[in-house]
Structure 1
Amino acid sequence: MTAPVKSSPLALTVLALLHYRPLHPYGLQQLIKQWGKEQVVNVGQRAGLYRTIERLLVGGLIAVRQTERDQQYPERTVYEVTDAGRAAVREWLEQMLSVPKAEFPVFPAALSNMMLFTPDEALRTLEQRAERIAAQRAAMEEVRSGAAEAGVPRVALIEDEYTLAVLAAEQRWLDGVISDLRDGSLTWSLELLAAAASQGPAESASSDGSVG
């Protein structure tokens, strides 16, 4: 009996793409890039893709379709999705699409400790982020436009729409915070923070659960 395969963005993407046609790892990597899915799954290192394929193979979610031999290329193993894989991908998709997951991205964690910077340092750092967000949006728009012109259907690029909407919302929020830092309506000092930290909780719970 095979062990259950844990879902991951890359495993989900591999299973999904194999629904359309059997592919070897290089073909999978190229299709991921052609459809712009490297924005949401990490295929920068092919070793990660091979490890994911191996997990899916051992778990019975994909199977070897054939082995291709060509004088121009090394031997290539072509994989196809199994019935178990088709069932798994639907289960993963339903869970991932319908249930918000508690995630802990880096940026909010950094924001929660931004008070270690002075307001001027925070302003300079967030201005740099805003510039990078603008550049990232422009690059994504260009890639998405090229993919659409190449005939990639909208549904295959829908994650780009979401990512661009999130980036646009972040850019608007950054603009507001940067404006507040510039005009001084958002400010702090070490003394102010130290005083707030020294106050402690207003109430504490006793050992029996009552509030004292």
Structure 2
Amino acid sequence: MNATPPRSSPLALTVLALLHYKPLHPYGIQRLIKDWGKEQVVNVSQRASLYRTIERLHGAGLIEILETGRDQLYPERTVYEVTDAGRDTARAWLEEMLGAPKAEFPEFPAALSNLLLLSPEEMADTLDRRATALAEKLDGIESGLLEEKAQGLPRVTRLETEYLRAVTDAELEWVRAVVKDLRAGRITWTPEVLDAFAEGAGEQ
């Protein structure tokens, strides 16, 4: 058994959290993630990643096998339950993730740092497409929140959706403002200006 717990991840934390409620087999975990809307913040699109996470948690002693069953409708299913070490680890991970902002490297900021490969017009058109996609995403999040509220779910179960709404709304507002500045010529550049800047920076 591993003495060192696996590194925290959104999926690993979610698996431990769901097993706090009741023992589950991997398919049950995946179904609950989707039924509870957690696929918005946890990637379970590939079942293999879920099984690898479960294997790591089991190898570290954070979960253990409760039983292995089989019936006529389903193949053999291993049911897992969380251990005391898993409960302690989940709590530690949760407090760390909530309390300490972590340096992350999402695609969008990386793309923004290299957008000088495009012309101002191309950049405006590209960000316009992103704004349209963000607006559609925001509509979907709003619909989801209304549905969750209609189901009578307590607000604590909707906080991640509220956060996604706030972040998406803020990004949409920012992208639209940048597009507006690009269209108005308040953000502009030319290859000559960039070449001169790069040459000057290289001589420092």
Q: In structure 2, what is the equivalent of residue 56 of structure 1? A: 57
Deviation at 1:152, TM superposition (A): 3.7
Q: In structure 2, what is the equivalent of residue 209 of structure 1? A: none
Deviation at 1:70, TM superposition (A): 2.2
Letter in 2 for 1:21: K
Query: For the aligned residues, what is the CA RMSD?
Result: 1.6
Do 2:127 and 2:179's aligned partners in 1 also have CA atoms closer than 8 Å?
yes
Q: In structure 2, what is the equivalent of residue 174 of structure 1? A: 175
Partner SS for 2:75: strand
Q: In structure 2, what is the equivalent of residue 32 of structure 1? A: 33
Partner SS for 2:81: strand
1:183 aligns with 2:166: no
Letter in 1 for 2:44: V
1:44 aligns with 2:45: yes
- Percent identity of paired positions between Structure 1 and Structure 2: 58
Q: Name the CA distance, whole Å, in 2 between partners of 1:164 and 1:201.
A: 42
Q: Name the CA distance, whole Å, in 1 between partners of 2:48 and 2:146.
A: 30
Change (3 A) 1:87 1:80: same
Q: Name the CA distance, whole Å, in 2 between partners of 1:84 and 1:165.
A: 34
Q: Name the CA distance, whole Å, in 2 between partners of 1:61 and 1:102.
A: 26
> If each structure's helix is expressed as a fraction of its own residues, which one has the higher value?
2
Letter in 2 for 1:139: G
Do 2:141 and 2:164's aligned partners in 1 also have CA atoms closer than 8 Å?
no
Q: In structure 1, what is the equivalent of residue 143 of structure 2? A: 142
User: TM-score with structure 1 length normalisation?
Assistant: 0.90
Change (3 A) 1:178 1:196: same
Which has the higher mean CA deviation after the structures are superposed, 141-150 or 153-162?
A: 141-150
Change (3 A) 1:84 1:58: same
Do 1:64 and 1:79's aligned partners in 2 also have CA atoms closer than 8 Å?
yes
Bigger radius of gyration: 1
State the aligned residue count. Answer: 203
Unaligned runs of 5+ in 1: 205-212
Partner SS for 1:31: helix
Unaligned runs of 5+ in 2: none
